[in-house]
Amino acid sequence: MQAREAFASAGELAERLRGTGYLADDALATVAWLALRLERPLLLEGEPGTGKTALAEAVAQALDLPLVRLQCYEGIDATQALYDWDFPRQILHLRAVEAVAAQRTTDVAAVEDELFDERFLLARPVLRALRESPAVLLVDEIDRADDEFEAFLLEVLSTWQVTIPELGTVSAATPPIVVLTSNRTRELHDALKRRCLYHWIDHPGLERELQIVRTRAPHVSHTLAEQVVTVVQGLRTDRELVKPPGVAETLDWARALHELGARDLDLETAAASLGVAVKYREDAERVRAALDRLLAR
């Protein structure tokens, strides 16, 4: 339990996260710290590109724990999340035994036992996290998975153990730190939400985003960083955009402009590198038209 009690207060956790380059505000730090203390999974929702996944990575790094990531998708099931048997290798093993058995008699039961041995077990993320625990288990984009998978995940998250009929029960000595992220494409089931601490991550304000850019891309000149952040913040207030740029896009754009040799943002380079921040044709046209106004500020 050392990892969970490594921090006496939320402030300490925020400090350590800052050390890894992740700037968490009071709210996020408090909630994350509580998740550690109460041994609860942390459910993060928010617009794409607000740093939900990055938080899990930062926590893993701050605590020096392995990060096990489970990317959810439509149709994901237990064999992809938990474990599977390596069937081809089992067959190969049988053939080998057959070949050896031609010379001397073998114990059939022993051979069968060998078939469901550790070495034929393919551990998938959830099982891996339970075994390697203390670890950070990131269940990314849980809203993409189906309801059935949610129910199954609920079971694992409440008991912290997985039963493999042939091998026995694998349970975590210490529950892994679990972070779930969702883009809210559908409402998650209440039973799962109830297990978790909930937090909505927002786009950061000007100050914080500027700090983030300075921390994550220190080589970018200060004027450039400031201008990029101002423009992006301006873009986010434009409700007509199909997809307002997230923090990830801000960082990419600042880095791209730096690579282009820009020291400050001018209309020409901004327009040329716009594709880094804005990924829809309709948006690009709109933003290009508005760049004048945004840069004038």
Partner 1 sequence: MSTATAHAPDEVLLAFARAVRAAGVAVTADRERTYLEAAAQVGLAEAQTYWAGRATLCGSPADLERYDQVYAAWFGLDRVSRRSARDRDHPLTQASVEPAGTDGTGPVDVEEDETVRARASATEVLRHRDLASLSAAERARLATLFASLRPRAPRRAAARRAPARRGAVDARRTLRAQLRRFGEPAPLQWRRRATRPRRLVLLVDVSGSMSGYADALLRLAHAYAAQGLPVEVFTLGTRLTHVTRALRQRDPERALVACGAVVPDWSGGTRLAQGLGAFLDRWGRRGMARGAVVVVFSDGWEREAPQALGEQMRRLRGLAHRVVWVNPHRGKPGYLPVQQGIVAALPYIDDFLAGHSMATFEELVEVVAHA
Alpha-carbon distance of 121 to 110, in angstroms, equals 17
Nearer to partner 1, 26 or 292 (CB): 26
* Closest separation in Å from C-beta 74 to partner 1: 8
* Closest separation in Å from C-beta 174 to partner 1: 18
2 φ, ψ (degrees, to nearest 5): -60, -40
204 φ, ψ (degrees, to nearest 5): -70, 160
Nearer to partner 1, 15 or 143 (CB): 143
The arrangement of strands across the sheet holding 42-46 comes to 67-71, 136-140, 177-182, 42-46, 197-201
Query: Is residue 162 helix, strand or coil?
Result: strand
Alpha-carbon distance of 175 to 216, in angstroms, equals 31
Nearer to partner 1, 271 or 290 (CB): 290
Nearer to partner 1, 188 or 220 (CB): 188
Binding site for partner 1 (CB under 8 A): 10, 26-27, 30-31, 33-35, 37-38, 40, 45, 47, 74-75, 77, 87, 91, 94, 143-144, 183-187, 190, 193-194, 197-200, 202-205, 237, 239-240, 242-243
* Closest separation in Å from C-beta 294 to partner 1: 17
Nearer to partner 1, 91 or 167 (CB): 91
Contact 49, 93 (CB under 8 A): no
Contact 283, 243 (CB under 8 A): yes
Among 186, 183, 178, 138, smallest CA distance to 160 is for: 178
Instruction: Provide CB contacts within 8 A for 28, sequence distance 6+.
Output: 55, 199, 201
* Closest separation in Å from C-beta 130 to partner 1: 23
Contact 204, 46 (CB under 8 A): no
Nearer to partner 1, 36 or 270 (CB): 36
* Closest separation in Å from C-beta 183 to partner 1: 6
Nearer to partner 1, 143 or 264 (CB): 143
Contact 286, 293 (CB under 8 A): no
* Closest separation in Å from C-beta 34 to partner 1: 5
Sign of CA dihedral 204, 205, 207, 210: positive
What angle (nearest 5°) sits at the alpha carbon of residue 8, between those of residues 18 and 32?
Answer: 55
* Closest separation in Å from C-beta 27 to partner 1: 5
